[in-house]
Structure 1
Amino acid sequence: MTKRHRKKWVDALSLVLPVLLFFAVLNCFTTYLYYQDYQCKMDILTEVAAGAETTGMDVAAGWLKGNDHQANEQGKQLLEQYGYWENKGTSFYVRFRQNIMITGCTSAVLCLSLLTFLFYRKKAEAKESRKRLEQLEQILIAFRENHFEVVPDTEDHVWQERLKFQLEAIGHHIQLLQEEARAEKESTKEMVSDISHQLKTPVAALDTCFSILLRNNLSETEQQEFRIRCRSALDGLETLLQSLLEISKLETGLIQLDQKTLPIMDTIISAVNRTYPKAAEKGIELIFDCNESLEHCALMQDKRWLGEAIINVLDNAIKYSPEHSKITIRLQKRTGFVRIEIEDQGIGIPQSEYHKIFQRFYRGTAPEVREKSGTGIGLYLSRQIIEQHGGTITVASGKVRKGSTFLIQLPENGLS
């Protein structure tokens, strides 16, 4: 027996057995009542038959008053003597048997009627279920063909509205997934294009330098110069590849931040110490402005990666600041967050580029920017890292309309 046939038998038995059990119990109960009535009538006859002791009026009065009565032994003997006590041909017994037969036939008719009704109802429900499944199949086929405006056809308006709502939600979710997939595809194309563009410059420089070095008419000084240029191009290429690797790890989730409650001051000082040699080469003074109450301010952070984000901002400030200028680092506590300001006196950023400089591979349009070497990845990485800490990074003009001020805001969750 297959699973499908077994299920049909189980459904049929679950439908028939309760009905049969109910009518069987009902028939037993009515038979018991009819027998009690028959027995009561026979007890009355025993008292009437023994009429020598009591009159018929006394017997009737006793029964009407509800007195307990049992079969009169003398009357019972008289009925047995004449063959009426156990005679199944008496009118009382015939009536008893007729009542049982009528009740049984009525129960059977009602039972069959109820089973027929339940059978056809079950069949109608199964038909409706098959219809709904067929509609769902057609709707899913339409969804596969990107047709999401499908309304189920049914007379059950409540079910129709519920199903329509759920299908619309699923269709909307599928559309969002498709849009995300398209956006991811475009982003991948853009990234490949950007990487190709970024690799083109150092690779072209290497190709040119090696082509010149292959000539035999170069002096020792010229050869040394082109070797230095090759080394510089290789260093730039290595830096670019390292940055691309970090971007890939961040965007694919391979880098999991290990956040702990640590003093934010230690992270900032560590970042300043790592960028200080570059600032010293240009004679740039790094000024730290912080309230003493914030020296022990602790935040939930991954010290290594948050430090990398701050270093990228400081490197950017040092690169585009003139010699013997100042870079000011401020730490402030605001309601609900801690704010880090890094202000330089450099070339500044046009307001039209405020929202672009944190994009991957973007570099400013100013001639001073083009003169400096760079990949356009540093600020993008900083934004990614800070956002994974639940914070934000923005840029504004300097305090005296000169240079730029980068504003880093981190939530004070875990502030102690």
Structure 2
Amino acid sequence: MIDSCPRTECVSRQGESDVDLDLGERADALRARLREMLAELLPADWSGSFSDDPRVRGISRQVLDRLAEEGLLTIDWPPEYGGAGATLWEQAVVREEMWAHLEPRGPQYMGLSWVGPTIMAFGTEEQRATHLPRIGKGEAVWCQGFSEPEAGSDLGALSLPATPDGDGWTLRGQKIWTSYATIADWCFLAARTTRDADSKNHGITIFLLPMERAGVSVRPIASMMGPHHLNEVFFDDVRVTAADVLGEVDEGWQVIKYVLGHERIGIPRYARDERVLAELGEVAATSAGGAGVNFVRALVHARTARLLNYRAIALREAGRLTDRVASGARIASIQLDQEVADLALDVLGPAGIAPTPGDGILGHAEDVYRYARSATIASGTIEIQRLLVARSLMSEEAQ
């Protein structure tokens, strides 16, 4: 396998000092420890957690329990919230190894990567006490109620109304494309509490909503991606109160920006893609046509995506992460995802269509290909990411 943690340096021009991206011996040891654990726990036919098979859920549960037992599940969380207080780089290693092994944590990666940290940053003491222990043990499944039929990646255009009603609000409307909604315990929900003619971003409020609350219903959307990826969620006179609000009423845009900052660099797709390339290398070298050249090109792009993500992590650690850097890293990662998936099926040909348990990640090349189709849409389309980069560059030119 290609070394997933190269000893390399990347110079950042975002500040006065350079950023050293040598992850060091602790990161190398952690990576080896995780690989040994996953080799022990994952079966040869493991193809990821998006499945209705109870066996798959059971395997994810085993992985979560083992990670928690060894203090790795919430490795980067502060000790006061049950974490190990590790560095962002150690967190990156855990994320990389999980995604390189088709995310055996299942839907819990959302709670661990951004729901929990967001509640730490904006939640009340009661909300922290209620949610963080369950997230930290991998016992609560969350879904994200952001996108709507008329507001996909443009979150400022969301219109699900939260209408004032006594000591709270009433929700009536719909969300769409909501992953894991059929099995989620909680929804991280954005709704509109005020319409502000001067700013579409003002007037949004975040609610922490239990999915079992009266009036909430879910309808799966059949797709080529398989179960649990896409769902519609309907709110039929659902009651919410001040106790459900995360952060300040009408100021949910600040929470959303915090979430997106974590989400854009929280899924290291490049790690899975590097594993595909590692297994594909020998096959590509002996293939006819331009497969060898395309393989080398994809490998260069994989290294580029990794370094761009590492720069974003370094700048977050320094408190200087910008939308431009985060979006730039994401653009490289999602384009790489589709490039590598396309290359894998091109090289493997008909053999890549049928699952082949025990044949590494290439045994699931068709599943990797289907998953990659959504890469440039999910968590903010590539067009939105490019727009954020362009606006940042134009702002710099104007200064």
TM-score (structure 1 length as normaliser):
0.19
Which structure has the larger Rg over C-alpha atoms?
Answer: 1
Query: Counting helix residues as a fraction of each chain, which structure ranks higher?
Result: 1
Structure number with the bigger relative contact order (C-alpha 8 A, sep ≥ 6) is 2
